Amino acid sequence: MAKKISLWRQDSTRETVAMALREDLGGQDITSMLTVPPSLKARARLLARQAGVAAGLPLLELVYAGLDPKARVKLKVKEGRAFPEGAVLAEVEGLARSLLAGERVALNFLQRLCGIATLTRAYVDAVAFSRARILDTRKTTPGLRALEKYAVACGGGVNHRATLAEAVLIKDNHIQAAGGLMRAVALARQYTQGSLPIEVEAEDLRQVQEALDAQAEIILLDNMSPGLMKKAVELASGRAVTEASGGITLQTVADAARSGVDRISVGALTHSAPALDLSLEFAKA
């Protein structure tokens, strides 16, 4: 399983966590300040209220380090591992005020990321009989792309481009603006000189043939039926990587895989993944 280890050590991730804490605290947790003794210590367990796949658990360390440098976090489940309902995913010990102040931020991150990883695993399992790989898209929450794509990788998916600078993907609007598919590919190749693969969106078999004639490395089969995708794969005959995209659901992903495509990109992995039901249970240390 490919994933970006040490993601939480990156400055951008640290700032994301710090920003979330500032947003939630608003300066101070007034309820805990008024009701909880400042020196009281506590421990908490992160519990799974439903089965899922672990993603982002080390973020607990960043959340609580920003509130209590002496807080201790013990992770119980490895990233990318499936866990059953009722599993203890992590334990935290530290000042009770700090544990309470970080509870919502920690859960917001982990419920979101575990939800993405769990949904991704469902898609990956649904096409396990085939060679097709499940890819994410750029349909992510602004500011959380790195974390959400990390969660996709934890679920067994493959990260597509994270930024517009990472790959060439010529879509219908680019084709229209450039004056045609062949010209769009020629312009892109003139600049990249083979340094980046060129992917072209095709809506029908005519465009698939055009993309092949232009020697595009990847052809995105946009909103095609499984039958049409199968014909496109046969037409490509290994001359280009084929990618299914557009409206793919858990109910239809297996049909797309049966067409023989190499990749299936699914925006729902990040824009529609339900949060996994997790909770923090507190007790005095």
| Residues in Cβ contact with 267 at an 8 Å cutoff, skipping those fewer than 6 apart | 136, 137, 139
Tokens coding 187? 């312009």
* Cβ atoms 94, 70 nearer than 8 A: yes
* Cβ atoms 248, 127 nearer than 8 A: no
Greatest C-alpha distance within the chain: 73
Catalytic residue flag (residue 139) = yes
Tokens coding 10? 């990156």
Q: Report DSSP state, residue 132.
A: P
Catalytic residue flag (residue 104) = yes
Catalytic residue flag (residue 171) = yes
pLDDT of residue 8: 65
Considering the candidates 4, 81, 104, 138, report the single residue annotated as catalytic. 104
Q: How far is it, in rounded angstroms, from Cα 113 to Cα 92? A: 19
Considering the candidates 93, 222, 255, 277, report the single residue annotated as catalytic. 222
Parse the chain into domains and list their residue ranges: 7-124+273-284, 128-271
pLDDT of residue 191: 86
Phi–psi pair at 141, nearest 5 degrees? -70, 125
Q: What confidence tens digit (pLDDT) does each residue in 100-125 have?
A: 999 999 999 999 999 999 999 999 99
Q: Does domain 128-271 have CATH number 3.40.50.970?
A: no
Element housing 227 (H / E): helix 226-236
Domain 7-124+273-284 fold is Aldehyde Oxidoreductase; domain 3 (3.90.1170)
Q: What confidence tens digit (pLDDT) does each residue in 28-80 have?
A: 899 999 999 999 999 999 999 999 999 999 999 999 998 999 999 999 999 99
Catalytic residue flag (residue 93) = no
pLDDT of residue 12: 87
Question: Is the Cα torsion angle 192, 193, 199, 203 positive or negative in sign?
Answer: positive
| Residues in Cβ contact with 168 at an 8 Å cutoff, skipping those fewer than 6 apart | 188, 192, 196, 197, 198, 199
C-alpha distances in angstroms, 256 versus 48, 83, 126, 135, 176? 32, 28, 11, 13, 27
CB atoms within 10 A of CB 4: 16
Considering the candidates 43, 139, 161, 258, report the single residue annotated as catalytic. 139
Question: Which residues make beta-bridge pairs with 95?
Answer: 41
Q: How far is it, in rounded angstroms, from Cα 173 to Cα 94? A: 54
Considering the candidates 29, 79, 199, 201, report the single residue annotated as catalytic. 201
Residue found by looking up tokens 């970080």 in the block: 102
Phi–psi pair at 274, nearest 5 degrees? -75, 145
Catalytic residue flag (residue 255) = no
pLDDT-flagged residues of the chain (< 50): 1-5
pLDDT of residue 3: 45
